[in-house]
């Protein structure tokens, strides 16, 4: 996925790179921000260390397919490269780049392309058209999670729910 054209989307998020990384480092939140992932079955200890995996399902019940996503490369607070499996469709390489934009904001770039399987038979421009809207939504969800964690951290008691009656 070097200089070749890949599906690439960017979003500015009102949270630090460390706050965004905290979402990425929480493998159990994967299905919350990755469009198409339906549930998480397990997360390898040490996620997101290289070689660890999130075991997920994708699709809609009752037509769920179990597969996994593995960490290819990780630089905490800077970059996460994943090999996302979704057979029988194939595999994709996903690179998330985090660029600080001041102390309280991050520009996230998500680059993805099919790396194995039948999806490679589609011409690259067609793959990009298919991947881009999904990845725009994925970054929107990732942003909401990171910004929500930031608000919770900055507002003591936020997210704690209603106060029980006295």
Q: What is the pLDDT of residue 86?
A: 83
Reported as a single tens digit per residue, the pLDDT across 114-154 is 999 988 888 888 888 889 999 999 999 999 999 999 888 88
Q: How far apart are CA 99 and CA 52, in angstroms?
A: 24
Least confident span in 13-17, 42-46, 85-89: 85-89
Sole residue written with tokens 């179990």 = 66
Q: What is the pLDDT of residue 3?
A: 45
Reported as a single tens digit per residue, the pLDDT across 102-116 is 989 999 999 999 999
Q: What is the pLDDT of residue 166?
A: 52
Q: Domain coordinates of the chain in residue numbers?
A: 7-154
Q: What is the pLDDT of residue 2?
A: 45
Structure tokens belonging to residue 125: 């421009």
Residue 158 has pLDDT above 50, yes or no: yes
Q: How far apart are CA 5 and CA 127, in angstroms?
A: 11
Q: How far apart are CA 58 and CA 28, in angstroms?
A: 14
Q: Tell me if the pTM is above 0.85.
A: yes
Q: What is the pLDDT of residue 97?
A: 98
May I ask the CATH class of domain 7-154? alpha beta
Q: What is the pLDDT of residue 6?
A: 79
Reported as a single tens digit per residue, the pLDDT across 67-96 is 999 999 999 999 999 999 987 878 999 999
The three-state (H, E, C) secondary structure of 6-52, written as one string? CEEEEEEECCCHHHHHHHHCCHHHHHHHCCCEEEEEEECCCCCCCCC
């Amino acid at each position: 996925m070097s200089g070749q054209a890949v599906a690439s989307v960017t979003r500015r998020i009102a949270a630090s790179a460390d706050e965004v990384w905290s979402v990425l480092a929480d493998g159990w939140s994967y299905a919350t921000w990755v469009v198409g992932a339906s549930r998480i079955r397990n997360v390898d200890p040490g996620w997101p260390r290289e070689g660890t995996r999130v075991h997920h399902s994708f699709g809609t019940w009752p037509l769920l397919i179990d597969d996994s996503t593995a960490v290819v490369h990780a630089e905490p607070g800077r970059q996460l490269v994943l090999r996302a499996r979704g057979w029988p469709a194939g595999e994709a390489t996903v690179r998330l780049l985090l660029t600080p934009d001041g102390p309280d904001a991050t520009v996230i770039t998500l680059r993805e392309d099919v790396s194995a399987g039948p999806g490679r038979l589609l011409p690259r421009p067609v793959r990009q058209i298919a991947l881009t809207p999904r990845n725009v939504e994925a970054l929107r969800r990732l942003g909401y999670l990171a910004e929500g964690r930031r608000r919770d951290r900055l507002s003591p008691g936020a997210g704690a729910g209603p106060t029980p009656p006295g």
